[in-house]
Structure 1
Amino acid sequence: MLDVKALDQIDPGTRLVDLTKTRLTAVQRALAVCAYPVGYVDGSHGPKTRNAFAELVNDEGLGDPELVSEQVIDHMKSKVQNMRTLLDKPADNSEVVKERIAEAFRLIGLPYKAHIAYGLATTQWETNHTFKPVKEAYWLSESWRKKNLRYYPYYGRGYVQLTWDRNYDLYRGILGLDLVDDPDFALRHDVSLFVIAHGMKMGGFTGRKLEDYITRNKTDFVNARRVINGTNKAHEIAALAEEYMDSL
């Protein structure tokens, strides 16, 4: 998962459009980790990939936005390795999970206390206060889920209840794990941690981003629920976020 070695296979100075499918896939995954809107990772030379790559190169001042230079490769490797290192850290109890969520939010580019408070509140609510990656309605049987959930088998899993086949497919591509064939990968701590941070940063769940509601100058915990699930339980989760603001 998030194999930094794949970036070592790229010859520095290669034009982005000349990369093979395998090497372009590595670049797409790195762009996603760097929080650029690459879309689905498929190894194809599409406009989203070209635009995301050009944005990264221009934002970081790394030269020609059409070339995969040594500087670009080093930058992407550093970002992917930092994320991989975080995801590999143990998280044996709820307090450590909270620390890991805070670290992941800062790393993905959601650094404000209000960002982290809302991420913690969301995790607390979505996991039924367990801070464990859980299945949707985990207290009921798999047969119940199969009978009652129209998106079965892609029902909610993880810290943020990843749902629907399109979202499992999205993170299959980014992480390099076949979540479509085995949705229970979404119950792993490392997968769940990446999904909540990346999804809230990029608008991966509903199209709404956490930064649409929480910035340096604005904090709207109630409407931030739209990042995950419309306005369902928005006020309850906002109240939890306010509690975390007092403790962070």
Structure 2
Amino acid sequence: MKLKELLSVSGPVPLSDLTEAQLMELQTGLALLGYPVGDIDGLIGPRTRNAWAEYKTDVFPGNPELIGLESIGMLADQLAKLAETGTHDFTSKPGTIEAIKWECKTQGIGLDTQVAYVLATTQWETAQTFEPVRESFWRSEEWRRTHFHYYPYYGRGFVQLTWKTNYEKYSRILGLDLVADPDIAMRPNIALFVLVHGFKTGTFTGRKISDYIDRDRTDFINARRCINVTDKAETIANIAKKYLSRL
């Protein structure tokens, strides 16, 4: 993603001075980096203000109410780094594992305990394949059409991206029309982004991985609430422990 609109800011200026187009670009950039901006609508709400303040706190000291060329430049550099996915090898399980580790670090899920849990979840959700799967993958598409009332927005990916609202959300963030073509979510690079972004921001259930795993605690059992309440929580926790021992 290139920040064409924001780079015209002469700043530093208050967020309220940004145009709608500049705000939408800022919201999209922050969302791509895993900051919870809410809707990408070009409007300044509390979630957008908080997301920018969180970003400034993380990477650029200064007044969180202001935005200028230096902070925009840092944002642009991080987005450029995020786009460097061309070297990922999704043709093998080890290659996908390395891609997940890279994406976690890039999006700021950097603790070994967090990475281990994301890997364990991917292993479980993909039936050990480490390949994007469809919800009820052992069934036919006609079966899904008949049995899922939210069809065609059933689960797809390394974890299950489900419901039209979530397909709409990632369409706005990624600049791709997942609503018109939900199978875009099956592309490994897209599934990778959604997997990690969802863990960081709480897209799937409203719970973030940092709610359960941070520098002070490692709760591999309740971290399952990020995906599916506590279904198979102990099994996945044990898988996470094995990954952690190898990181």
- Normalised to the residue count of structure 2, the TM-score between the two structures is 0.92
Residue 86 of structure 2: which of 88, 92, 97 is its match? Answer: 88
Query: Residue 6 of structure 1: SS of its match in structure 2?
Result: coil
State the partner residue of 2:21. 22
- Aligned residue type for 2:87: K
Q: Which moved more, 1:36-45 or 1:115-124?
A: 36-45
Unaligned regions of 5+ residues in structure 2, if any? none
Distance 1:134 1:10, change over 3 A: farther
Identity of aligned residues (%): 46
Q: Is the 8 A contact 1:42 1:173 kept in 2?
A: no
State the partner residue of 2:97. 98
Q: Alignment length, in residue pairs? A: 245
Aligned Cα RMSD in Å? 1.8
Q: Is the 8 A contact 1:156 1:163 kept in 2?
A: yes
- Aligned residue type for 1:52: A
Q: Does 1:239 align with 2:241?
A: no
State the partner residue of 1:155. 154
- Aligned residue type for 1:88: G
State the partner residue of 2:30. 31
State the partner residue of 2:192. 193
Q: What is the rounded CA distance, in whole Å, between the counterparts of 1:21 and 1:174 in structure 2? A: 16
Q: What is the rounded CA distance, in whole Å, between the counterparts of 1:82 and 1:151 in structure 2? A: 35
* Structure 1 stretches of 4+ moved >4 Å: none
Q: Is the 8 A contact 2:7 2:69 kept in 1?
A: no
Q: What is the rounded CA distance, in whole Å, between the counterparts of 2:21 and 2:142 in structure 1? A: 39
State the partner residue of 2:70. 71
Distance 1:193 1:10, change over 3 A: farther
1:54-79 superposed Cα distances (whole Å, 9 cap, x missing partner): 33234434434343311111111011
1:72-128 superposed Cα distances (whole Å, 9 cap, x missing partner): 11111011111111x333322111110010111112111111111111111111111
Distance 1:58 1:90, change over 3 A: closer
Q: What is the rounded CA distance, in whole Å, between the counterparts of 1:177 and 1:119 in structure 2? A: 24
Q: Is the 8 A contact 1:28 1:38 kept in 2?
A: yes
Q: Is the 8 A contact 2:28 2:173 kept in 1?
A: yes
- Normalised to the residue count of structure 1, the TM-score between the two structures is 0.91
Distance 1:223 1:63, change over 3 A: closer
Q: What is the rounded CA distance, in whole Å, between the counterparts of 2:152 and 2:141 in structure 1? A: 9
Q: Is the 8 A contact 1:34 1:76 kept in 2?
A: no
State the partner residue of 1:170. 169
Q: What is the rounded CA distance, in whole Å, between the counterparts of 1:241 and 1:59 in structure 2? A: 27
State the partner residue of 1:111. 110
Tell me how far 1:188 sits from its aligned partner: 1.0
Q: Is the 8 A contact 2:7 2:72 kept in 1?
A: no
Q: Which moved more, 1:20-29 or 1:199-208?
A: 20-29
Q: What is the rounded CA distance, in whole Å, between the counterparts of 1:38 and 1:168 in structure 2? A: 16
Tell me how far 1:224 sits from its aligned partner: 0.8
Q: What is the rounded CA distance, in whole Å, between the counterparts of 1:80 and 1:101 in structure 2? A: 17
Q: What is the rounded CA distance, in whole Å, between the counterparts of 2:17 and 2:6 in structure 1? A: 16
Q: Is the 8 A contact 1:62 1:72 kept in 2?
A: no
Q: Is the 8 A contact 2:6 2:22 kept in 1?
A: no
Q: What is the rounded CA distance, in whole Å, between the counterparts of 1:244 and 1:58 in structure 2? A: 31
Aligned pairs for 1:206-245 (under 5 A) are 206-245=205-244
State the partner residue of 1:136. 135
Tell me how far 1:244 sits from its aligned partner: 1.1
Unaligned regions of 5+ residues in structure 1, if any? none
Q: What is the rounded CA distance, in whole Å, between the counterparts of 2:195 and 2:31 in structure 1? A: 13
